[in-house]
Structures are given as C-alpha cells and as structure tokens.
Amino acid sequence: MRVLITGARGFVGPYVFEALHSVCGRGIAVVATSKDGGPHPVFGQVEALDVTDKVAVEEAIARHRPSHVIHLAAVAALRAAQADPQSTWRIHVHGALNVAHAILDKVPGCWLIHVGSGLVYGESAKIGRPLDENTLLAPIDDYAVTKAAADLALGALSRHGLKCIRMRPFNHTGPGQTEAFAVPAFAMQIARIEAGLAAPVIRVGNLDAERDFLDARDVASAYASVVSNSDDLVPNTIFNVASGVSWRMGHILEQLLAQSSVKIATEQDPLRLRPSDLPRIVGDANRAREQLGWVPEHPFEETLAAVLEHCRACVVRA
C-alpha cells in the first residue's frame, strides 16, 4: 500500500502517520504532502503540494500512484475560515474536487479518504440525541458549509466510479494543536500563568456548550482503520468519528485547572463568544465500530493532562 496524505503538516498529520504504521504495519509507504514542503521531525520530508493547484495535484497523483489518499488539507480553525471565506471555499471544495478528479483520471483504483467534519450536522444537533450518518446536514457557518459542500460533491462523484470514504470527525485534541482551539487555548494560558508570564486570570468564551471530544490518536486510528479495511468497504460509505460522550467546556476547564498548583480565576471574553454556538453536539459512531472495529482507546482526562504538559514544555522552550 502507498498512502498519500494531503495537509500532512497540520495538527493531525503526524498522528495519522503513526497510526498508519501501527494499524497497517511498518511496510506501508507514506507520501506526506502539504502546501509548505520541507523537512519534518515525523515525516522526514514533506513534499510541497497546494491542493488548489489542479495541475500540481494531477502531477503528484500520477507520479506517486497511491493506493489510498487521506485528504486532510483544510482550513483548520473556524475563525480562520470565517475570516477568509473565499479561500475556505477554494481549499475545502475545489481542493477536494481536484484530488478526486485526479484520482479518477490517473489512478481510478485508488481510495479517497476525505476528512470532513461532524459540524456539517449543524442545526440538526438541536434534536437532542447523538447524530448518526443519516442525520440531515444543516451547517451554520462557512467552515461547516464548505465541509458539507465537499462531502456532498464527493458523494455525487462516487456515482461516477470514485472510491471514496467520507469521514466526519467530531472535536479532537492532543499535544501540538494550536491555541485557535479551546483545549490548548485553556492549557497554554494555564502554562503561562504558572510560569509567571501572565496574570492569574483565564479569558474564556461560552463554557456551557457541550461537545463530543476525542484524542487525536483515536481519530487518526479511525482513518488508518479505513485504509486497513478498504477491501471490505463499500465506496461512498460515511463514517462518523465520535466518542458519543458530551463534555461541557466548563468541565474541561475545571479538569485542567485542577492540575495547576496556582490559583487561577476565569473571566468571560466577549471576543471568544460565538452567538451561533449550538448548545450540545454529540456524535454516534456505531457504524465505525461495526464495520471498522474502531473504538476510542484513550481516556479524555489523560488527553487533557497530555495537552497541558505539552503547553508547559512549550512555555519553557520559549
């Protein structure tokens, strides 16, 4: 097997690399690509590939002739997606279609594993129960709308022979994620306070929102499990990647604060409040459990501790 990863320099990319070797064996060949290429501590070398460049994508697919493509390339953070919606559409939709058409033209036997988002369900979360793959897509912002558009477009291409698996991961975190996301934002503030670099006050957004969280290693193992099981899968299958457990953001912060020896107060920051926040988003991943044998293995409490330790180390190195 030869697996080409787009967006490999992103947060999840290194986790996917490790998961592929763990699940599929060390004999698997991995080609790491990203918009910015160059040396990388995990991959060794990352090949430059801008997924919005149709010709470059076709050339890369034709040259490497992968058996699988894991399409991670994306605008990772919601705020960044909102700030430049035109770029978000180009990357999420046109980028995904460039990869898909290149596969159909150059290596039609290749599997495309498209990494979408559980946020595509949007307003449907208000039904009050875990969201499965049959739930109506009702995205509410540029990030989720573009992820949904790509998801649906690839589903349509499957009717023309594209061997695509559509993944819809819910929230996930781990060491290495940027402060654009809530968990490392909390943890980095704590680490700076402990180091005496900031006042003992954490600025927060909506702490009442409840979200389904996973360890990034578990999400990566789901993608690797698709690669490993692809011979037994039906093209155009959709898999949620979720824990089925809701975590209140305030509880997550409390868990992190409990690991600090410094007394820290909290203060609401209006800039961190999103008026469109959905109160509760929880996923149903029974299909992945049944067809892939995938289950989350890492307790989220341990994930939170690992994120905080990583942030402490980053503060010391800085």
pLDDT digits (tens, 9 = 90+) for 4-18: 999 999 999 999 999
Q: Taking a C-beta distance cutoff of 8 angstroms, is the pair 291, 228 a contact?
A: no
pLDDT at res. 318: 72
Residues 150 and 22 in one domain: yes
Amino acid at 192: R
pLDDT at res. 174: 98
Residues 192 and 145 in one domain: no
Cβ neighbour number for residue 260 with a 10 Å cutoff: 16
Residues 227 and 273 in one domain: no
Higher-pLDDT residue of 138 and 277 is: 138
Reported confidence tier of residue 239, pLDDT bands at 50, 70, 90: very high
pLDDT at res. 26: 83
Answer whether residue 258 shows pLDDT above 90: yes
Q: Calculate the alpha carbon distances from 171 to 137, 174, 227 in Å.
A: 17, 11, 22
Residues 62 and 202 in one domain: no
pLDDT at res. 273: 72
**pLDDT per position as a tens digit, 141-188:** 999 999 999 999 999 999 999 999 999 999 999 999 999 999 999 999
In this structure, the dihedral spanned by the alpha carbons of residues 20, 26, 27 and 30, taken in order and rounded to 10 degrees, is 40
What residues contact residue 170 under an 8 Å CB cut-off, 6+ apart? 118, 211, 212, 213, 214, 240, 241, 242, 243, 281, 282, 283
pLDDT at res. 275: 57
Reported confidence tier of residue 287, pLDDT bands at 50, 70, 90: very high
Domain holding 58: CATH number? 3.40.50.720
| Length of the chain (residues) | 318
pLDDT at res. 276: 54
Residues 71 and 204 in one domain: no
**pLDDT per position as a tens digit, 60-113:** 999 999 999 999 999 988 889 999 999 999 999 999 999 999 999 999 999 999
pLDDT at res. 55: 98
pLDDT at res. 274: 65
What residues contact residue 295 under an 8 Å CB cut-off, 6+ apart? 289
Residues 139 and 237 in one domain: yes
Residues 127 and 24 in one domain: yes
Q: What is the mean pLDDT of residues 242-270?
A: 94
Amino acid at 147: K
Please give the structure tokens belonging to residue 239.
Answer: 């898999």
What is the reported pTM? Answer: 0.96
Domain holding 257: CATH number? 3.90.25.10
pLDDT at res. 204: 86
pLDDT at res. 270: 81
Number of domains in the chain: 2
Domain that holds residue 187: 182-209+246-281+305-317
Residues 75 and 103 in one domain: yes
Q: Calculate the alpha carbon distances from 309 to 96, 133, 155, 196, 303 in Å.
A: 35, 35, 40, 16, 10
Residues 196 and 141 in one domain: no
**Across all residues in the chain, what is the average pLDDT?**
95
Answer whether residue 203 shows pLDDT above 70: yes
Q: Calculate the alpha carbon distances from 4 to 51, 85, 115, 192, 198 in Å.
A: 12, 27, 13, 37, 42
The pLDDT > 90 percentage for the chain reads 91
Answer whether residue 205 shows pLDDT above 90: no
Residues 137 and 186 in one domain: no
Residues 164 and 205 in one domain: no
Residues 106 and 163 in one domain: yes
